[in-house]
Amino acid sequence: MTHVDDLLATISTLQRGDIETWIREGLVAPQQEAGTLHFTEMECARVRLICTLHYELEIDAETLPMVLSLVDQLYDTRKRLLSLTAAVAAQDQDVQAAILAALERDDPARQS
């Protein structure tokens, strides 16, 4: 488990005021335990992503929540898509072939 101070020590660009804002705005959601905040490995990776977006790609504080919301929607959609794919992949070969054929019909890019 990682604390705010550990994050500040490992990510040199990170400002304390900024991470406090991000926590307040719910962009990252560390767990509170006995008055201290704990970040899981996943949240640390998320903080690193937010730092890259904000400090390096210069996405300003106002736009940041929107970008992260889109990122979250992207991952959520991928999750559903991968679940669906796994379900398809579990079907018999002829069912899979029928689904692939239906997709092909539906995809104008593949029609020549």
Partner 1 sequence: MKDPYETLGVKRSASDKEIKDAFKKLARQYHPDLHPGDKEAEGKFKDISAANDLLKDAEKRRRFDAGEIDASGAERPQQRYYRDFADAPHAAQDGFASNEDLEEFLARAFGGGGARSRGGFAAAGQDVNYVLPVGLLDVANGATRTITLPDGKTLQVTIPEGAEDRQMLRLKGQGMPGFGGGPTGDAYVEIHVEPHPFFQRKDDNIHVDVPVTLKEAVLGAQIEVPTINGPVVATVPKGSNTGTTLRLRDRGIRNRKTGQRGHQFISLKVVLPTAEEPDLTAFLETWQPKVQQEPRKEMLR
**For partner 1, the closer CB: 34 or 89:** 89
**For partner 1, the closer CB: 37 or 51:** 51
**For partner 1, the closer CB: 35 or 108:** 108
Tokens 């719910």 found at: 26
**For partner 1, the closer CB: 35 or 112:** 112
* φ, ψ (nearest 5 deg) of residue 24: -60, -40
Give the CA angle between residues 21, 46, 20 to the nearest 5°.
15
List interacting residues with partner 1 (CB under 8 A).
Answer: 41-42, 45-46, 48-49, 52, 56-58, 71, 74-75, 78-79, 81-83, 85-86, 88-90, 99-100, 103, 107, 109-110
Nearest distance from C-beta of residue 2 to partner 1, angstroms: 12
Contact 70, 33 (CB under 8 A): no
Give the closest residue to 40 by CA, choosing from 10, 7, 1: 1
Nearest distance from C-beta of residue 78 to partner 1, angstroms: 6
The whole-angstrom separation of Cα 82 and Cα 86 is 6
